[in-house]
Chain A
Amino acid sequence: MENYIEVRWHGRAQQGVVTAAKLLGESCLISGKYVQAFPEFGPERMGAPVRAYNRISSDPIRLHCQVTEPRYVLIADPTLIGVVGVTDGTPADAVFIVNTAKPAAQMREELGLKGKGARVYTLDASKISLETIGRVMPNTPLLGALAKVTDIIPLDALIANFKENYAKKFSDKVIEGNVSAMKRAFEEVKGD
């Protein structure tokens, strides 16, 4: 059977979850992994719920279907909880990282995971991004948090990829803002 890490990102259009999946995929690829990063598009409007996925493996990936049983779920917008099935298909040892100012214990309750084995982490990614990047863009902070609470990718690799591959696209200020956002999220993410 195939051996994958599977990740699902939940957000709304324009919150950067497709880019987050892309950044995670690229960073893992640089470290020698085989990756997939792909979005699931619905109505293409600002604010519409969007999902994006990653598969990461040491072997070439042949599956070309959606990720339906992700172990890792990142939620860029907590207002989606209860609106879309953020816990659908997740295994007992799933890991949830939620952008919210609320503590993880409370999020666990809202996710309906009280007394379950899943790990739940929270961070105020919106606030972090506002203070570092200058606008609400929770995607890079969520990546920083992922680096902290899982061993999918080290923080250094995320930062190195961002600095190396986005220097042309973004100004130094934007690059630095995102790097600080990842670093702060790495420090501030908390479990219950």
Chain B
Amino acid sequence: MEKESKGGKQPLGGVIPKGGTADDYSTGGWRKLRPVVDNTKCTNCLICWVMCPDSAVITKDGKMMGFDLEHCKGCGICAVECPDKVKAIKMEEEAD
């Protein structure tokens, strides 16, 4: 019998056999632009939390607390979606 492939036993049919595995996958390193919130301007409308595709907006007791930079890919959707009258989120060069 042929021996097992070097990758070892794979989950059957390519399933991801448990939930929440995205948490283990650090995508923060993909970021070129970093979101920065100005807490003095933020009204805690949480539109950024709704729109963030990576669930990287941290909230506590209904308040916007900042960003999970382990998972934020720097797409900038939060900055665009932050209401025009508020504009509390700015994207800054990661390199700066």
User: A–B direct touch, CB within 8 Å, in complex?
Assistant: no
Binding site for B on A (CB under 8 A): none
Binding site for A on B (CB under 8 A): none
